[in-house]
Amino acid sequence: MKIDKLEPKKISIEDLAIFCKRRGFVYQSGDLYGGFAGFWDFGHLGVELKNNIKKQWWKFHVVQREDIVGIDGSIITHPKVWKASGHLDSFSDIFVVCKKCKKPNKIDKSEIGKVKCDCGGEYDEKNAKEFELMFKIRVGGEESYLRPETAQLIFTNFKSVQESARMKLPFGIAQVGKTFRNEIAPRDFLFRSREFEQMEIEYFIKPKQDLPYKIPNEKILVYSSSDQEKNKEPIKMNFKDALKKRIIKNPWHAYWLAQEFLWFKNLGANPNNFRIRQHNPNELAHYSTDCWDLEYKFPFGWKELEGIADRGNFDLTQHEKFSKKDLKIVDQETNKKIMPYVVSEPSLGVERAFLVFMFDNFFYSGNRNNVVLKLNPRLAPIKAAIFPIVKKKKFEKFADQIVKDLKQDLNVVYDRSGSIGRRYARNDEIGTPYCVTIDEESLRKNDVTIRDRDTKKQIRIKISQLKEKLKDLIDGKIEFERIGRLVV
Amino acid sequence: MKIDKLEPKKISIEDLAIFCKRRGFVYQSGDLYGGFAGFWDFGHLGVELKNNIKKQWWKFHVVQREDIVGIDGSIITHPKVWKASGHLDSFSDIFVVCKKCKKPNKIDKSEIGKVKCDCGGEYDEKNAKEFELMFKIRVGGEESYLRPETAQLIFTNFKSVQESARMKLPFGIAQVGKTFRNEIAPRDFLFRSREFEQMEIEYFIKPKQDLPYKIPNEKILVYSSSDQEKNKEPIKMNFKDALKKRIIKNPWHAYWLAQEFLWFKNLGANPNNFRIRQHNPNELAHYSTDCWDLEYKFPFGWKELEGIADRGNFDLTQHEKFSKKDLKIVDQETNKKIMPYVVSEPSLGVERAFLVFMFDNFFYSGNRNNVVLKLNPRLAPIKAAIFPIVKKKKFEKFADQIVKDLKQDLNVVYDRSGSIGRRYARNDEIGTPYCVTIDEESLRKNDVTIRDRDTKKQIRIKISQLKEKLKDLIDGKIEFERIGRLVV
């Protein structure tokens, strides 16, 4: 059998959207009525991929760590939260129109008087309009808002969580949940939408507390603000070296940037498509003293995946001031009360991670002329497809039993129709890592053939071992070639 | 050692709320600012319990079935969806005040002129006010709504999902997600809030299609509408018998009621606290031709957990009419186009399930004077607590390694402080099913003691087997007494 080499396939964001719609990953919300800009519905495969991304994020950031616990705050909360956080007074965009080319655009408040249109024309700043980015809502008699970030729910619950989970600094609080921003111009498929899901950690330390963890030995493209100013290219270097050379000044930032990069890399993203970029002083959010973005090379340019920002103690101090409640915690070493600092807040959009894993795993099989989605088995929506090679009652009954047993623990499908080649192709296209076929021999010998999506290799294995081996393969605990006897 | 028998402990909803706050399960949202009625934040244990409930629901209803696939629709969608569904015109409550006792109350439109106040007085219906239950929101230039139910996202995506997942009738589409209702009077802790999470299936059949599944052999209290009229008590009977006796008329309803009951029972809810109750004709929603509620005996009375409603083809027909798009599907047997019927829509609030599992697992240990939360291990927020019996460096280092290894796959904690008794009690109270202690012998023999939360029995086990045995215990694949050598 000819080995079928897979080639990475570059596709545009528009083509990805078409693929996602056709294959049941993502639909435009309200599609029946012409669609509703900035809102997306995840289909039967999209919901599984999205859930797997969230599950893996939670495992890496919460379950596997001793220093982070999770919460799940409400989307609508007390309006004073948004007053204290500063969102109510400053979370808005300025909408301007170019005097020359008449194109509308969105700028930041800090850019007024500074920036010009791409065509070189000046913006009509007299007629600039301010757009509140928070969605307003009336609850009972009060005006409230849909949260524009998950972070504030972490800050308002900080003291309660610290006490009931008995956390000691340094520690983090994680949250995954929906967030809403009334974007003027949602665009680029899932990249900028009005409703999205954030996976976020606020990581608290004592002021100037040392990093107790090792910085992983990993390389990445580093783009400092001074290199950006001088129009230099980013340089590939080790996170540790970037710290030694004082490009990254805070060891905590180096640590968290490396963690976040590693999360993507371990789940099968292409490390060459990532870089870290330092914010310029005028880009910094109102609460932040330093910020690095983990960026990804999208088909439409390098864009932010997550910001690793130093928020200081701005938020807790604000909530203390507005609520008149003591949010400080007792330092067990000195017995003094301290207000913790947020040294970093890894904050990632689920949908942006979704795009990364789609783009980096989009491959093409030259021989067989179809898409192969090389998703990491932990992320793949369907873990295995099972099909009888012959369409006969006795095979189908036999396959039924296998599917039923596997489905107790794994999301597998029973694929009944079409030629074997067609069934392989269909499953390659949606990222199913393993196909299990049942043939004449299976009935006599109680074994089946498993085929690996990426190498096309096939192995014969006893049915009694099938579930455990599949689980080990999915968890990356065993290599495919070691699960049994290679037949192709 | 004296066997410590656990007694179920009945507590009020108010006491449960206090317990949940103190132990880090649930906080009132915006608590710092006096709280925001109807909104709740889940703490570090609550988020794990909630996620486990959702995971088990998805596993039972989606992963383990061949006939149901999931989706994840947006919270805000095209406003025409709510016009077509009828919500925009009729999803409201009537707010009235009693002429006699002056108490305000919420009634349904259909009750105007029919119902009286509990005190016997008449309502002042002239001054009745109508309250829109949907939250309004402005998106760009348009007025839209936060979804008041997840179901419509299933109907609007019905055709796309059916096509991309190649589903054949009968089949279901499942969804888990946030829902919002502007309740006039949120109450009873998590029971009636303004923001909550639904786990829902819309199950589609051909008109009059037969049930191809067996009805489980389970008994439950059955409360028919005629028994309610005659003020009779509900009768305990088998779902099959209720169907035979034509109390439940539709086999699909009997099947789904039994499934939903079984889901609770298998996860450790007390079957004696459940009943099924038929809606009276005047209770039926505008779209429904028959409806049964699965009810639970809360401390504040029998209340609805989920409705198993026959929605007919109302929704799909409405969307077809309003969108002018063909939503019928081709019947592969007859090649004719048909509009599927929704024969049932199991729809359960995550928070209501949360309350059920809390109430039914709230036990009290007389000897040791503390709460034991007997949560099913699959639902328990923390799967095991690990602690060295002596507070010495060498034990702690040894324990560190064990915790690190377990945490790769399981949500375990390292509990360092307090007496052993205190540590057991602390973990019993939050539902941790297993405690693992490390003693002098552990260092020499590489083994540990596992203690079972419910029986207090202790078993000695090799560290090399610890993770696999814990996994099997959590999944219910092995009994505690069979994992090793019983020591207590």
pLDDT averages per 10-residue partition of chain B, 488 residues: 76 97 97 97 98 98 98 97 92 84 80 82 85 90 94 97 96 98 93 97 95 97 95 96 94 97 98 96 72 96 92 94 96 92 94 98 84 98 95 89 97 93 95 96 95 96 97 96 90
For A43, which of B21, B32, B161 is closest by C-beta distance?
B161
pLDDT for the residue numbered A120: 86
Handedness of CA A274, A279, A283, A285 (dihedral sign): positive
Could you please state the CATH topology (level 3) that the domain comprising A13-76+149-359 is classified under. Answer: BirA Bifunctional Protein; domain 2 (3.30.930)
pLDDT reading at A316 higher than 90 = yes
The number of beta carbons lying within 10 Å of the beta carbon of residue B140 is 15
- What distance in Å separates the CA atoms of residue B316 and residue B429, rounded to the nearest whole number? 48
Q: Is the CB of residue A314 less than 8 Å from the CB of residue A322?
A: no
Residues of B in contact with A325 (CB under 8 A): 32
For A33, which of B74, B81, B414 is closest by C-beta distance?
B81
Q: Is the CB of residue B234 less than 8 Å from the CB of residue B221?
A: yes
Residue-wise pLDDT for A6-16, tens only, equals: 899 999 999 99
For A44, which of B33, B165, B403 is closest by C-beta distance?
B165
In this complex, do A146 and B137 lie within 8 Å of one another by their Cβ atoms? Answer: yes
In this complex, do A71 and B161 lie within 8 Å of one another by their Cβ atoms? Answer: no
For A408, which of B64, B156, B323 is closest by C-beta distance?
B64
What percentage of chain A has pLDDT greater than the value 90?
Answer: 79
Task: State the pLDDT confidence band at A1, using cuts at 50, 70 and 90.
Answer: very low
User: A-B interface: how many C-beta pairs under 8 angstroms?
Assistant: 233
Q: Is the CB of residue B382 less than 8 Å from the CB of residue B45?
A: yes
For A137, which of B47, B135, B173 is closest by C-beta distance?
B135
In this complex, do A137 and B137 lie within 8 Å of one another by their Cβ atoms? Answer: yes
In this complex, do A323 and B70 lie within 8 Å of one another by their Cβ atoms? Answer: no
pLDDT for the residue numbered B113: 79
Which helix (H) or strand (E) segment holds residue A473: the answer is helix A463-474
Q: Is B382-487 in the same CATH topology as B13-76+149-359?
A: no
In this complex, do B77 and A30 lie within 8 Å of one another by their Cβ atoms? Answer: yes
Average pLDDT over residues A358-372: 89
Residue-wise pLDDT for A410-442, tens only, equals: 999 999 889 999 999 999 999 999 999 999 999
Question: A49, A72, A153, A468: best mutation site toward chain B, by most B Cβ within 10 Å?
Answer: A72
Nearest chain A residue to B172 by CA distance is A44
Residues of B in contact with A31 (CB under 8 A): 156-157, 160
Q: What b/e string do you get for A185-215 counting C-beta neighbours within 10 Å, with b at 16 or more?
A: ebebbbbbbbbbbbbbbbbbbbeebebeeeb
Task: State the pLDDT confidence band at A38, using cuts at 50, 70 and 90.
Answer: very high
Residue B188 or A309, more confident: B188
Angle at B124 between CA B119 and CA B126, to 5 degrees: 165
For B164, which of A44, A78, A80 is closest by C-beta distance?
A44
pLDDT reading at A17 higher than 50 = yes
Q: Is the CB of residue B470 less than 8 Å from the CB of residue B434?
A: yes
For A161, which of B43, B175, B323 is closest by C-beta distance?
B43
Residue-wise pLDDT for A458-484, tens only, equals: 999 999 999 999 999 999 999 999 999
Task: Report, at the CATH architecture level, how domain B382-487 is classified.
Answer: 3-Layer(aba) Sandwich (3.40)
pLDDT for the residue numbered A194: 97
This prediction's pTM: 0.95
Nearest chain B residue to A75 by CA distance is B195
pLDDT for the residue numbered A247: 94
- The residue ranges of every structural domain in chain B are 13-76+149-359, 382-487
Residues of A in contact with B175 (CB under 8 A): 47
In this complex, do B70 and A64 lie within 8 Å of one another by their Cβ atoms? Answer: no
In this complex, do B139 and A78 lie within 8 Å of one another by their Cβ atoms? Answer: no
pLDDT for the residue numbered B4: 67
B258 CB contacts (<8 Å, ≥6 apart)? Answer: B215, B216, B218, B220, B239
Residues of A in contact with B143 (CB under 8 A): none
Q: How far is the alpha carbon of A25 from chain B, nearest alpha carbon, in Å?
A: 9
Question: A33, A147, A213, A429: best mutation site toward chain B, by most B Cβ within 10 Å?
Answer: A33
